[in-house]
Structure 1
Amino acid sequence: MNSPIDFQPLLNSLTDTPLAPWLDSLPAQLAQGLSTQRFGDLPSWYDALRSLPDLRAQTVSLADTVAIGSAKEVDPSTHQQIEQAFRALIPWRKGPYNLFGTHINTEWRSDWKWQRLAPFIANLKGKRVLDVGCGNGYHCWRMFEAGAAQVIGIDPSPRFVVQFYMIKHFLNNPPVDVLPLGIEALPANLNAFDTTFSMGVLYHRRSPMDHLLELKATLQPGGELVLETLVIEGENGDVLVPEGRYAKMNNVWFLPSVPTLLSWLRKCGFENPRCVDVCTTTTEEQRSTEWMTFQSLKDFLDPTDSSLTAEGHPAPKRAIFVATKR
């Protein structure tokens, strides 16, 4: 089945840039990442994308709610057509979004995370930015709003990739893309991005040191890493390694203390690593909604003590780190 997503403008834009070496492998990686043989639901998601009306939003805001179009720009029939298409991609985890008057109340209030980190990151104006594990690309739009010249998000989930291109469908092809890849798909020692974000990824990696080194390899010398991850209270050297699940997730490997992660960053060769924010995740920030109807944070906590996960571990606490590549 032919994909309705056209990556050719992105591929063309990489010629004569530091990302040009990636062109040798990227087209095949994109085809593999969106293989209908591997992902059986992909054809139905493509159908939803194809069902969107061919129109461009007259009003666009990439602020806390990424708002594309207004209700005044479409008739009731077209509004219903758009909403039906977007509901076909439920669950929606990162956001919020508003599409021509339809409010997509996502599982995460991702705007809160952006508000916490934005004061501490380098100026993104004119920068080439990578967002690792970007989900449906909500933060990619915030990075573009902040002035980035090009934003590339990567996430191996095809559902999230299609969700992103459903949003982008109504825009005039801005230089923002989400690719169906993990970080291991990037060429070694790419040294191409001014800023790399990795948010909500580190604790899913079996080797956190290797992930930090992979992130470092994406950056130009002097480039900035913005890292957000789960942490625990503790001193340097303290790490939680859950033997079973953590908050009902079975793919959580390492939760370091803040001093431990700062030490890891220094050991991996980053300069001036610093923790700029620590906060406990609340059930107001992560919750079930009509656009994400499955279990969410309140179901992952001890019902008698919200300071603990269902397994008895410390409840989720997230920290944001910033560091520079030498």
Structure 2
Amino acid sequence: MNFFDPFFDHISHNRLDKYEDAFRQSLDIRFHQRDHGDMPAWEKAFSQLPDVTPSRLDNTSDTLMIGSDSDLTPEQRETMVAGLRGLHPWRKGPFNFFGEFIDTEWRSDWKWQRLAPHISPLKGRFVLDVGCGSGYHCWRMLGDDASFVLGIDPSPKFLFQFHAVKKYQPTAPVFYLPLRSEDLPQNMQAFDTVFSMGVLYHRRSTFDHIDELKATLKPGGELILETLVIPGDENTVLTPSDRYAQMRNVWSIGSAEATKRWIERCGFVNVRIVDETVTSLEEQRQTDWMTFQSLKDFLAPSDITRTVEGYPAPCRAIIIANKPS
């Protein structure tokens, strides 16, 4: 099963065409040459999705809509639900497949509602979404009339979740590559808007990540960076001794003002903090489509303003900046 040919066919006619060899090399190293033990199960799950033409598609609603209940027979529905459940856990969404509501762990639509009023209009823009998860926000970007959207995330399971939607919008200019930002061709300067949401604190070097994002942007392009923050001034940074909210790979969390300064130090201009929101138990929670532990399990039982390790509970900031023209 090759999900990548449509991407290469598409970029042969746009500004990314000169990077085809670099993209192929990164995919070989990061995906094709690696063993993914669950791949047969994911392929089987994906094959259970019905080959039908949806009667409706809506990438503008909070719940992404693919088809209607009446598009499927009862037998097709049963098989489809089994396939979608075979791609559990569903973390970023929500989605509705032919009347089947996928109640994901995260209310990703809430994040979109927080950032949408502050960003430049996406109409006609080339957009990159770093750490895109299942691709929910990529489809929202298309819904806002972006001309091309590329999502990257190293998870092969998210690749299949993305293509569960893409299967029913095969010609949409939205694509997913199982890569990290450090795997992208160097100094592309190709994208008008770049999103990095929920990635910065997972990187050993925050400055390297910000520089990587900057290198993908055209001069004058816009960066939307969403990340964990802690209370404090521009000098406040938390480096967890081990885990943060039970996550192993959290290296540093700055205050919103500290993160703003990091972005400025990397050469961005017009840097502004547009939102800070404490993550609620309603925004991130266990559901029937994500049955593992979630936020409530990562907070101190006696004080939900602290993590189980004693750190400030998760709060997320959205920071917008521009690459100099």
| Residue of 313, 317, 320 corresponding to 1:319 | 317
1:61 alignment partner in structure 2 = 58
Partner of 1:164: 162
Distance 1:109 1:23 in 2: 35
SS in 2 for 1:177: strand
One-letter amino acid of the structure 2 residue matched with residue 250 of structure 1? R
Q: Residue 70 of structure 1 contacts residue 99 of structure 1 at CA under 8 Å; is this kept in 2?
A: yes
Q: Deviations over 1:100-133 (max 9, x none)?
A: 0111100000000000000000010010100000
Pick closer, same or farther for the CA change 1:211–1:37 going to 2, 3 Å: closer
Post-superposition offset of 1:137: 0.1
- Correspondence 1:272 to 2:262: no
1:220 is paired with a residue whose SS is strand
CA shift for structure 1 position 265? 1.0
* TM-score (structure 2 length as normaliser): 0.97
Q: Does 1:9 align with 2:6?
A: yes
**Compared with structure 1, are the counterparts of its residues 172 and 250 closer, same or farther at alpha carbon in structure 2 (3 Å cutoff)?**
closer
Contact persistence 2:48–2:82 (CA under 8 A): no
**Residue among 221, 224, 227 paired with 2:222:** 224
Q: Find 1:149's aligned residue among 144, 147, 150.
A: 147
The offset of 1:244, in angstroms, is 1.1
**What is the SS of the residue equivalent to 1:293?**
coil
**Alignment check: 8 A CA contact 1:56 1:172 kept:** no
**Matching of residues 163-312 of structure 1 within 5 Å:** 163-312=161-310
Q: CA deviation at 1:31?
A: 4.2
Distance 2:33 2:292 in 1: 25
Q: Distance in 2 between matches of 1:121 and 1:196?
A: 11
Residue 271 of structure 1, CA deviation = 0.7
| Pairwise CA RMSD | 1.2
Shift of 1:325: 0.4
User: Could you say which residue in structure 1 is the equivalent of 2:71?
Assistant: 73
Give the deviation of 1:32 after TM superposition.
4.2
Which position in structure 2 is the counterpart of 1:25? 22
User: Aligned partners of 2:130, 2:56: CA distance in 1, in Å?
Assistant: 28
Distance 1:73 1:53 in 2: 10
Q: How far is the alpha carbon of 1:167 from its aligned partner?
A: 1.3
Contact 2:230–2:253 under 8 Å retained in 1: yes
Q: Counterpart in 2 of 1:130?
A: 128
How far does the alpha carbon of each residue in 1:238-284 deviate from its partner, in whole angstroms, 9 at most, with x for none? 10111111000011011111111111111101010000000000110
Kept in 2, the 8 Å contact 1:231–1:258? The answer is: yes
C-alpha distance in 1, partners of 2:44/2:282?
A: 33
SS at match of 2:123: coil
Shift of 1:299: 0.2
Q: Which runs of 4+ in 1 moved over 4 A?
A: none
Give the equivalent residue in structure 1 for 2:80. Answer: 82
In structure 2, the gaps of 5 or more residues are none
Cα pair 2:23 2:185 within 8 Å, conserved: no
CA contact (8 A) 1:229 1:318 kept: yes
Of the three residues 41, 46, 60, the one matched with 1:44 is: 41
Instruction: Give the total of aligned pairs.
Output: 323
Over 3 Å counting, the alpha-carbon distance change for 1:79 and 1:36 in structure 2 is farther
One-letter amino acid matched to 1:104? I
Q: Shift of the alpha carbon at 1:16?
A: 4.9
8 Å CA contact retained: 2:48, 2:83:
yes
Q: Which moved more, 1:311-320 or 1:164-173?
A: 164-173
Q: Is residue 36–residue 43 contact of structure 1 (8 Å, CA) maintained in 2? A: no
| TM-score, length basis structure 1 | 0.96
CA contact (8 A) 1:56 1:171 kept: no
AA matched with 2:72: V
Alignment-mate amino acid for residue 122 of structure 2: L
Between stretches 169-178 and 106-115, larger displacement belongs to 169-178
Shift of 1:221: 0.3
Separation in structure 2 between the aligned mates of residue 303 and residue 228 of structure 1, nearest angstrom: 27
